[in-house]
Structure 1
């Protein structure tokens, strides 16, 4: 029974060494998934705003910002900014819609200051949509 007594606590030591690495991988995967989702939503919102502006550029009901934000309800509460050039839109010209958000970290673990680094978050994400006016 002596060999078993000398290995006592080995699993606890191994877990103490591996647990931080496993948690970092888990948190990194969750943060990456969130960033990927927000980036896709920003691009879709910009595309829908550009489509609305290209079709309705000469109508009084033109609301590029509202259409862009309505196209991405998952971005509610993140403070999305929408910029566009719909006022200068005309036949054979392009409308460009840009959506921007400063995304904070979901966990706070990858923020600036950890490990003495600049950090990854907050991260500025941008989506752009361009379409031909009137067409």
Structure 2
């Protein structure tokens, strides 16, 4: 079937309009998935660091950072900082471990203002774990 002359190129124009929107949606889904994964890993790392500090608070060589980051290998390439109050840990007290990262965009698309939307990245993510010492 031969299309009339006035309809030629309509598919190309429609594709040029729809493709950028679909790509933005796909990239947004990928970025959201990555942020969600890093957030879950940070929470797991903080929780594991708190558990390690709560169980081993009497040890001389207590290394909360290594225990926390060892529990979340997906964070190895990221600049994660781990803060804790394990030196104040005593029976019945709580130990608090906080894992923080400034996450950059995977694609770079959301690092700049786009179509009037605010800049999203770098995004500050935090995971917190609290456990009872010796408990």
Range class of TM-score, shorter chain = over 0.9
Tell me, in whole angstroms, the C-alpha distance in 1 between the residues paired with 2:53 and 2:41.
18
Matched residues, number:
135
Tell me, in whole angstroms, the C-alpha distance in 1 between the residues paired with 2:122 and 2:112.
8
Tell me, in whole angstroms, the C-alpha distance in 2 between the residues paired with 1:122 and 1:45.
20
Q: Give structure 2 stretches of 5+ with no counterpart.
A: none
Which portions of structure 1, spanning 4 or more consecutive aligned residues, are displaced by more than 6 angstroms?
none
Give the SS at the match of 2:98. Answer: strand
User: What CA RMSD, in Å, does the superposition of the two structures yield over aligned residues?
Assistant: 1.4
TM-score under structure 1 normalisation?
0.95
Give the SS at the match of 1:115. Answer: coil
Tell me, in whole angstroms, the C-alpha distance in 2 between the residues paired with 1:7 and 1:113.
37
User: 1:114 offset after TM fit, Å?
Assistant: 2.9
Tell me, in whole angstroms, the C-alpha distance in 2 between the residues paired with 1:55 and 1:61.
13
1:121 aligns with 2:128: no
Q: Give structure 1 stretches of 5+ with no counterpart.
A: none
* Match in the other structure for 1:50: 50
Tell me, in whole angstroms, the C-alpha distance in 2 between the residues paired with 1:3 and 1:125.
54
* Match in the other structure for 1:106: 106
Matches within 5 A, 1:32-71: 32-71=32-71
- Per mean C-alpha deviation after superposition, the further-off stretch among 44-53 and 54-63 is 54-63
User: 1:117 offset after TM fit, Å?
Assistant: 4.2
